[in-house]
């Protein structure tokens, strides 16, 4: 790179003037450079001892290695946080720019030790363990960049997690000294314990210009909605204590209060509740007989009886989280970890990550004034909801509270979502625990629309070379009133489709597409030629369906545009003896699939089949030349959670003249193959998405004792 | 030659340096390369590194102790002390709203009586009418928790003809004003040319604002409500449906992004619109502006005006609206514009360029799911941003626009009710809707948290939560005739229903003026059997949300219904696939009678149906609750007085929630009409007025709903082997065919 820089400075004229001698010289030089580069590369990845030890000495930073910065007394102080700050006024979005990954870049300042003129540090703890963890987690994440020029967000390494350990003025001066401070623009501060005695402000008191604040304990008056991020108060206990898995369900106690620093009036109120409701409540306090210290943080007492904390939290359905001097309480984290539903009594408190988390599904918020009604309020919550809340609470802890890493990355993700709102994580992504994500469906066609009849449907006929049969199919389908277009997918590469003049004359546009390979999946390709929503996939030998049956099928599809609507139904069954799935054909009372030899469905599923089919199913189907219909049934059921609709009594597609070739043995191998498909697909999907139903759709007046000619679809009924 | 040599030396030196550096790089970590990246004030290679060794925790356990000094202060005093300074622009519910008013009587809304001589705009009249027609309304101010002025505050633009003068004095003279506490003030326009401030021109005191085009700066979170700007033609009730009819694949429309609107040559809000032409490409991104507005636009005319105006006239606004994937919604003079709702209805995904606009109902609506929220500063990136949006996402954004439009915006009534429900949710916080209830079908107005706060108790969220409804039903039999014999149809019905394997409980609603028969007169059943005496013998009592219904599903039955156990079983298995719909036997249809200009009701044999009568139908228990609380008393009284039409009303209700038809199962048309005569003479079906009444009901209901919610279906669901020519022994529901 160095060399090429030199070249260009002189211009291209140099090169032709070079003599052979020099050229050799240059080549030699280049090879040396190249060698050097290769060697460097090798050293970088060489797992030898020299490097790791070198790494060790460098990476094993300690506080004392950090450069010492002396703050002059006159050093400027930032302005107090501006309450009117919003992303569009106080945040420089140009730094983040357009980014194909929609991910912000975060820079962390290197560690420095700030002292005042007299050498006294600005903070009593210096860098705390938690802040070290937080910054390390961010530096290991995708958000991180060490290139300050590319950064969109800056995080100082000045630890302001706990305001009590800070000297406010000096900390502010230190912030202002950061080289890219620029009035705090795009800087993010993390603070968990704001304010100090006696009035305990609900936001960090350190003047910070326009910096964003990720704060634990905001009140509605200090929180700048859409700008600040409300974060939890980290509880170090949860990192130390592993609680056993506990399934949601009824617990020994109904309400538990375990906080030690409860105002005496609230404690009196709780005592009163306990008197009224007895054993359902457990009121714990600190143990008076235990010496103060770390160990006592792990114990709680009630009338001399000692309980292990936080284990005891798992024994209660609801756990009280009352405000203390501050609104944010570390106890919230412990309570969530235990899968106990927090009952939050902290008026005006902005719940952690409330911008994205739906706390109504994981907690109960009660105004402080209504503490006395707590028992009645909680009793009115249905059991099933309590269980869901317990599960949700534990999930919130696991995903967003459990470590400084979780807290830090969640905060960054929230900021990221604001900057790239069109790529923001969805409500479901934020709020659904994995078990729900796994079992629930979010259908992409969720709106209850009954599309109008007028655009009709496009019939897609897959054919190889059965021209005669194909022409009959075309002639038959063309009688269906709502047919809009015919699309013949010519799957034979060795033979051209018949000349245009030979095709049957039909009243709708007829298009032929030729495929590059003879693959079954060609029938499910989302061809541009399909301009309607509704697609009728039909084989080139399905001639027995009447016009009424097809039209009725289309009408039913309009009522269920997100389902497969087909004629013969099929079923999957669990074979207990073999311990696997089995394919079942005609004459069952149930249906879980419809054959796509003739079926209506939404064009969206063509797109899904072609581009979003999980695993190797698509190739597998093409290789085996079978089961494309089962794959389609799996796909649709998996994404919508709904069963297909079987219309009309029809049970099979066999044409009357071809019964002769269908031997019994052929039938049996067919069944075995199809069963194999089901098992294969179920393992790829990781679940059995098919839904079994016991109904089929018939016209309203089907088989009614009523003049046939007055029925809309009289010609329905053969098997 | 000299130059060349010099070069050579320089070059080799450079190469050597590079080499040295490369090998040196082994010691210097990769990141340390290049001083350009490090900062002034830091050494080269300085970057954040994890510290090893012992570090102190950020807080010790001692940290969380009672606030020493404040400990003598009662929390209540402390709360008051901390919230009392927060009034005016810093108002929150905690500091400016009196919750105690709502505790006594629940969430009731009072509207001031209209004073003579006060002009009220049509829009404001619509707002007041909607409140008065809602279930929150109370005419008694002593019962009220929220107060609404009858003084028109919608248009506070001094230049507007609608502007009400002397509002300040008029408001101060109101006896109940109480400095605006627990009042809500609706406003669409504030301020005027040139600065369009958000000041209303009078002191609102402690009142909440429901205001359009409100800025985040002035918006008091969880206190004010941001409402959409709507035109004076916005329908009061009912409202148009969204325009989306198709989910075409691929979901792209003719244009990617369009805009057509005024360009303000001077003054506030002109920057973004003046820059739009940079992005306009007259192909798929069509952003058109005109300078023509106001009297003296020629005066401020700039160089682009003539060209812009010509281009502007070439396109039709409606055509663009319906044929574009995205619609730009830039700020105008004010932050919001009519365009926002127009785009929403047209399923044209709004791309909002209005920095600082608190979006309508932002407290409850997750706008990221229905709109693209852009940044005015990044206007030039907008085309590439919207082009980068994946087609799956477009599909879902587009559908969500329709969901939100129909749930909250398509009529003044919905906008007003949404505003009230938002406030109610704040007041009764522990029974309030979760975000999922607001942002998914059928929307918050149909999902009442007073019924349950548990999502699984509603018929709408099973798929979203990956759960299933409770696999049994409760039969509710409505009895109006006294028990005389054991062969009475109701006796047979009770036995047949109780025999169903899915039956959890039978409830008889005794709506007969004869005394309750002794317990032994009823048939013995294996499932619990409860008799409830209907309240005031009115027909609506069959739809009360009784606590004694332990299941999600309700099988509703008339006393003269003839139904076999198999039929009940089959209907229930079908319902499990459609838990949000009415699934049942007797079907009816409606039609538009164009000669009489009204809706017609028919019980004839038709090829389609739009109602399934509740004489034999299964539906979710939640609809009992909706019937009882959501519908206005006027409709329920009408039904009770006639003792008729309750089934039609239920169908109207359910279809307006689901926007889908009910589901009819198997044959069995010969019901009611054909049985008239043989069944008891007291049957209401024998009454000749009965049919005309039902016709009238249809029209009354359609009038209240503001639209016809019923939807037709052409299919019915039969057992898979229904009437197939196969041995009856193969069939699971063989009894059905014998009927």
The domain spans of chain A are: 62-230, 236-424, 457-652+664-697
Contact yes or no for B55 and A6 at CB 8 A: no
Q: Among residues of chain B, what percentage have pLDDT more than 70?
A: 89
Query: How many CB pairs below 8 Å do chains A and B form together?
Result: 449
Q: Catalytic residue numbers of B?
A: 647
Q: B10 and chain A: CB distance < 8 Å anywhere?
A: yes
Which pLDDT belongs to residue B669? Answer: 53
Alpha helices in B242-389 (DSSP H): 270-275, 297-300, 305-313, 317-322, 338-345, 382-387
In whole angstroms, give the CA distance from residue A460 to residue A539.
8
Instruction: Scan residues 228-247 of B and list those with Cβ closer than 8 Å to A.
Output: 244-247
> Which among A148, A449, A559 has CB closest to B39?
A148
Q: Among residues of chain A, what percentage have pLDDT more than 70?
A: 88
Question: Predicted confidence band at B78 (pLDDT cuts at 50, 70, 90)?
Answer: confident
Contact yes or no for B573 and A694 at CB 8 A: yes
Question: Predicted confidence band at B734 (pLDDT cuts at 50, 70, 90)?
Answer: confident
Residues in chain A within 8 Å Cβ distance of B83: 347-348
Closest residue of A to B395, CA-based? A444
Alpha helices in B547-668 (DSSP H): 565-577, 622-629, 633-642, 646-658
Contact yes or no for B216 and A226 at CB 8 A: yes
Residue pLDDT, tens place only, A135-146? 999 999 999 999
Which pLDDT belongs to residue A2? Answer: 42
Residues in chain B within 8 Å Cβ distance of A32: 15, 19
Residues in chain B within 8 Å Cβ distance of A647: 715
Contact yes or no for A448 and B665 at CB 8 A: no
Indicate if the pLDDT at residue B13 is higher than 60: no
Instruction: Scan residues 313-332 of B and list those with Cβ closer than 8 Å to A.
Output: none
The C-alpha angle B710, B711, B712, rounded to 5 degrees, equals 125
Residue B605: closest CA among A556, A706, A717, A712? A706
Residues in chain A within 8 Å Cβ distance of B27: 54
Contact yes or no for A260 and B64 at CB 8 A: yes
> Which among B10, B250, B430 has CB closest to A364?
B430
Closest residue of A to B58, CA-based? A128
Mean pLDDT value of segment B663-673: 69
- Interface predicted TM-score (ipTM): 0.90
A236-424 matches A457-652+664-697 in fold = no
Contact yes or no for A62 and B53 at CB 8 A: yes
Q: B282 and chain A: CB distance < 8 Å anywhere?
A: no
User: Mapped to the 3 state alphabet, what secondary structure does A376-404 carry?
Assistant: HHHHCCCHHHHHHHHHHHHHHHHHHHCCH
Indicate if the pLDDT at residue A160 is higher than 70: yes
Q: How many Å lie between the alpha carbon of A495 and the closest alpha carbon of chain B?
A: 31
* Paired strand residues for A463: A490
> Which among A111, A147, A197 has CB closest to B67?
A197
Phi and psi based region of residue A239 (left: phi greater than 0; alpha: psi -120 to 50; beta: remaining)? alpha
Q: B88 and chain A: CB distance < 8 Å anywhere?
A: no
φ, ψ at B379 (rounded to 5°): -50, -45
Alpha helices in B428-461 (DSSP H): 435-439
Contact yes or no for B69 and A58 at CB 8 A: no
Q: How many Å lie between the alpha carbon of B479 and the closest alpha carbon of chain A?
A: 30
Find the largest Cα–Cα distance for chain A: 105
Which pLDDT belongs to residue A401? Answer: 95
The pLDDT mean for chain A works out to 87
DSSP 8-state assignment for residue A267: H
Residues in chain A within 8 Å Cβ distance of B429: 365-367
pTM score, two decimals?
0.90
Mean pLDDT value of segment B635-657: 94
What is the architecture of the domain spanning A236-424?
3-Layer(aba) Sandwich (3.40)
Contact yes or no for A325 and B66 at CB 8 A: yes
Contact yes or no for B56 and A36 at CB 8 A: no
Q: B574 and chain A: CB distance < 8 Å anywhere?
A: yes
Question: Predicted confidence band at A429 (pLDDT cuts at 50, 70, 90)?
Answer: very high
Indicate if the pLDDT at residue A490 is higher than 80: yes
Contact yes or no for B22 and A37 at CB 8 A: yes
Indicate if the pLDDT at residue A560 is higher than 70: yes
Which pLDDT belongs to residue A21? Answer: 58
Domains of chain B, first to last: 85-238+411-448 (no CATH), 255-404 (3.40.50.2000), 473-705 (3.90.550.10)
Closest residue of B to A346, CA-based? B79
> Which among A63, A132, A358 has CB closest to B434?
A358
> Which among B29, B608, B721 has CB closest to A589?
B721
Which pLDDT belongs to residue A48? Answer: 42
Indicate if the pLDDT at residue B369 is higher than 60: yes
Residue A318: closest CA among A355, A350, A366? A366
Q: How many Å lie between the alpha carbon of A664 and the closest alpha carbon of chain B?
A: 20
Contact yes or no for B715 and A58 at CB 8 A: no
Residue pLDDT, tens place only, B414-438? 999 999 999 999 998 889 999 999 9
Name the more confident of B280 and A650: B280
Closest residue of A to B69, CA-based? A198
* Distances in whole angstroms, Cα of residue A169 to Cα of each of A72, A74, B41: 12, 11, 21
Contact yes or no for B715 and A526 at CB 8 A: no
Q: B1 and chain A: CB distance < 8 Å anywhere?
A: no
Indicate if the pLDDT at residue B26 is higher than 60: no
Residue pLDDT, tens place only, B631-641? 999 999 999 99
Q: How many Å lie between the alpha carbon of B40 and the closest alpha carbon of chain A?
A: 6
Per-residue burial over A417-453, b if 16 or more Cβ lie within 10 Å, else e, is bbbbbbbbebbeebbbeeebeeebbbbbbbbbbbbee
| Highest CATH level, class, for A457-652+664-697 | alpha beta
Question: Are residues B265 and B302 in contact, defined by beta-carbon separation less than 8 angstroms?
Answer: yes
């Amino acid at each position: 790179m160095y060399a090429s820089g030199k070249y260009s400075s002189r211009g291209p004229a140099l090169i032709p003037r070079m003599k052979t001698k020099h050229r050799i010289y240059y080549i030699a030089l280049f090879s040396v450079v190249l060698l050097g580069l290769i060697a460097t590369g090798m050293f970088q990845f060489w797992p030898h001892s020299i490097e790791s030890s070198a790494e060790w000495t460098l990476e094993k930073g300690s506080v004392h290695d950090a450069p010492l910065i002396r703050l002059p007394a006159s050093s400027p102080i930032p302005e107090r946080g501006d309450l009117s700050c919003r992303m569009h006024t106080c945040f420089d979005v140009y730094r983040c720019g357009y980014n194909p990954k929609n991910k912000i870049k975060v820079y962390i300042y290197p560690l420095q030790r700030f002292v005042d003129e007299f050498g006294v540090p600005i903070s009593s703890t210096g860098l705390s363990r938690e802040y070290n963890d937080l910054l390390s987690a961010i530096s290991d994440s995708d958000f991180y960049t060490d290139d300050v020029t590319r950064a969109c967000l800056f995080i100082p390494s000045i630890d302001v997690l706990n305001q009590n350990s800070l000297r406010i003025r000096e900390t502010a001066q230190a912030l202002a000294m950061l080289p890219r401070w620029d009035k705090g623009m795009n800087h993010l501060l993390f603070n968990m314990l704001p304010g100090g005695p006696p009035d305990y402000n609900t936001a960090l008191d350190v003047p910070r210009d326009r910096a964003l604040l990720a704060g634990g304990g905001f009140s509605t008056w200090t929180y700048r909605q859409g700008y600040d991020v409300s974060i939890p108060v980290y509880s170090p206990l949860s990192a130390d204590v592993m609680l056993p898995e506990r399934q949601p369900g009824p617990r020994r106690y109904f309400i538990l209060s375990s906080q030690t620093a409860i105002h005496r009036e609230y404690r009196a109120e709780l005592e009163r509740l306990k008197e009224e409701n007895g054993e359902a409540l457990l009121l714990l306090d600190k143990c008076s007989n235990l010496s103060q210290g770390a160990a006592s943080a792990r114990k709680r007492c009630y009338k001399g009886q000692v309980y292990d904390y936080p284990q005891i939290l798992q024994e209660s359905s609801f756990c009280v989280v009352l405000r203390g001097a501050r609104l944010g309480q570390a106890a919230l984290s412990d309570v969530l970890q235990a899968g106990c539903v927090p009952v939050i009594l902290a008026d005006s408190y902005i719940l952690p990550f409330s911008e994205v988390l739906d706390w109504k599904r994981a907690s109960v918020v009660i105004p402080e004034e209504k503490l006395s009604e707590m028992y009645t309020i909680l009793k009115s919550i249905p059991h099933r909801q309590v269980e869901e809340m317990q599960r949700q609470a534990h999930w919130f802890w696991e995903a967003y509270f459990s470590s400084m890493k979780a807290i830090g990355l969640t905060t960054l993700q929230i900021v990221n979502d604001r900057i790239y709102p069109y790529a923001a994580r969805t409500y479901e992504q934020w709020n659904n625990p994995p078990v729900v994500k796994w079992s629930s469906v979010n259908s992409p066609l969720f709106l209850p629309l009954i599309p109008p009849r007028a655009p009709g449907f496009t019939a897609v006929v897959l054919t190889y070379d059965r021209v005669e049969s194909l022409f009959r199919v075309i002639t038959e389908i063309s009688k269906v009133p709502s047919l809009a277009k015919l699309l013949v997918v010519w799957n034979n590469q060795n033979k051209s489709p018949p000349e245009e003049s030979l095709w049957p004359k039909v009243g709708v546009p007829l298009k032929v597409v030729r495929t590059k390979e003879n693959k079954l999946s060609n029938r499910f390709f989302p061809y541009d030629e399909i301009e309607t929503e509704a697609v009728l996939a039909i084989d080139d030998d399905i001639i027995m369906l009447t016009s009424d049956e097809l039209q009725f099928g289309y009408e039913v599809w309009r009522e269920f545009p997100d389902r497969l609507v087909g004629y013969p139904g099929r079923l999957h069954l669990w074979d207990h003896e073999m311990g696997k799935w089995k394919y079942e054909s005609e004459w069952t009372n149930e249906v879980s699939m419809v054959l796509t030899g003739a079926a209506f469905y939404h064009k969206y599923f063509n797109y899904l089949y072609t581009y979003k089919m999980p695993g190797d199913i698509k190739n597998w189907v093409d290789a085996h030349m079978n089961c494309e219909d089962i794959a389609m049934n799996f796909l649709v059921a998996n994404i919508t959670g709904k069963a297909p609709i079987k219309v009309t009594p029809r049970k099979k597609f066999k044409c009357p003249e071809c019964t002769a070739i269908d031997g019994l043995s052929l039938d049996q191998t067919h069944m075995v193959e199809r069963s194999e498909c089901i098992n294969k697909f179920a393992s790829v999907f990781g679940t059995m998405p098919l839904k079994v139903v016991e109904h089929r759709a018939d016209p309203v007046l089907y088989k009614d004792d009523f003049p046939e000619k007055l029925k809309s679809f009289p010609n329905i009924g053969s098997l | 030659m000299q130059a060349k040599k010099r070069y050579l030396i320089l070059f080799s030196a450079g190469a050597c340096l590079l080499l040295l550096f490369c090998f040196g790089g082994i010691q210097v970590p990769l990141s340390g390369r290049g001083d350009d990246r490090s900062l002034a004030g830091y050494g080269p290679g300085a970057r954040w590194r994890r510290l090893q060794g012992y570090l102190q925790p950020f807080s010790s356990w001692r940290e969380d102790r009672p606030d020493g000094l404040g400990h003598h202060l009662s929390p209540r005093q402390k709360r008051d002390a901390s919230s009392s300074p927060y009034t005016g622009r810093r108002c929150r519910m905690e500091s400016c709203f009196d919750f105690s008013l709502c505790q006594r009587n629940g969430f009731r809304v009072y509207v001031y009586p209209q004073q003579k001589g006060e002009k009220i705009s049509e829009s404001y009249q619509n707002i007041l009418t909607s409140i008065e027609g809602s279930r929150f309304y109370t005419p008694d101010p002593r019962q009220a928790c929220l107060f609404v002025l009858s003084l028109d505050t919608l248009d506070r633009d001094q230049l507007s003809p609608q502007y009400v003068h002397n509002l300040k004095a008029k408001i101060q003279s109101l006896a109940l004003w109480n400095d605006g506490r627990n009042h809500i003030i609706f406003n669409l326009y504030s301020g005027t040319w040139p600065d369009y401030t958000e000041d209303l021109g009078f002191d609102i005191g402690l009142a909440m604002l429901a205001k359009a085009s409100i800025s985040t700066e002035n918006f008091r979170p969880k206190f004010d409500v941001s409402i959409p700007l709507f035109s004076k033609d916005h329908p009061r009730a009912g409202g148009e449906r969204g325009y989306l009819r198709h989910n075409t694949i691929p979901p792209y429309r003719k244009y990617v992004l369009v805009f057509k609107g005024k360009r303000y040559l001077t003054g506030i809000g002109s920057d973004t619109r003046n820059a739009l032409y940079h992005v306009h490409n007259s192909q798929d991104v069509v952003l058109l502006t005109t300078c023509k507005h106001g009297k003296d636009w020629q005066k401020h005319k700039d160089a682009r005006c003539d060209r812009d105006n010509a281009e502007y006239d070439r396109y039709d606004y409606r055509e663009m609206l319906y044929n574009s994937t995205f619609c730009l919604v830039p700020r105008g003079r004010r932050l919001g514009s009519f365009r926002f709702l127009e785009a929403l209805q047209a399923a044209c995904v709004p791309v909002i360029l209005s920095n600082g606009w608190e979006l309508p109902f932002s407290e409850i609506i997750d706008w990221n799911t229905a709109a693209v929220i852009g940044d005015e500063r990044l206007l030039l990136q907008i085309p590439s941003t919207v082009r980068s949006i994946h087609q799956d996402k477009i599909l879902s954004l587009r559908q969500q626009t329709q969901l939100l439009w129909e749930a909250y915006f398509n009529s003044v009534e919905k906008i007003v009710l949404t505003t009230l429900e938002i406030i109610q949710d704040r007041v009764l916080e522990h029974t309030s809707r979760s975000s999922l209830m607001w942002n998914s079908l059928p929307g918050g107005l149909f999902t009442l948290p007073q019924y349950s706060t548990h999502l699984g108790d509603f018929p709408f969220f099973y798929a979203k939560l990956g759960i299933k409804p409770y696999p049994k039903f409760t039969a509710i039999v409505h009895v109006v005739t006294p028990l005389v014999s054991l062969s009475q149809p109701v006796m047979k019905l009770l036995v047949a229903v109780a025999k169903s394997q899915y039956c959890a409980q039978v409830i008889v609603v005794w709506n007969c003026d004869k005394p309750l028969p002794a317990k032994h007169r009823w048939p013995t059943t294996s499932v619990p059997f409860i008799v409830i005496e209907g309240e005031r013998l009115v027909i609506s009592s069959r739809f009360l949300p009784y606590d004694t219904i332990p299941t999600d599903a309700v099988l509703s039955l008339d006393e003269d219904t003839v139904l076999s156990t198999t039929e009940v079983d089959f209907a229930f298995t079908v319902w499990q696939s459609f838990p949000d719909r009415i699934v049942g036997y007797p079907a009816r249809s409606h039609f538009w009678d164009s000669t009489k200009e009204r809706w017609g009701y028919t019980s004839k044999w038709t090829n389609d149906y739009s109602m399934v009568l509740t004489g034999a139908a299964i539906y979710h228990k939640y609809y009992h609750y909706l019937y009882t609380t959501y519908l206005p008393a006027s409709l329920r009284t009408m039904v009770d007085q006639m003792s008729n039409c309750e089934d039609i009303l239920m169908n109207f209700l359910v279809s307006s929630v689901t926007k889908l038809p009910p589901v009819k199962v198997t044959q069995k048309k010969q019901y009611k009409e054909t049985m008239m005569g043989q069944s008891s003479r007291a049957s209401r079906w024998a009454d000749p007025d009965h049919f005309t009444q039902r016709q009238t009901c249809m029209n009354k209901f359609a009038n209240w709903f503001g639209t016809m919610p019923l939807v037709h279906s052409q299919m019915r669901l039969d057992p898979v082997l229904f009437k197939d020519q196969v041995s009856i022994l193969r069939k699971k529901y063989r009894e059905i065919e014998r009927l």
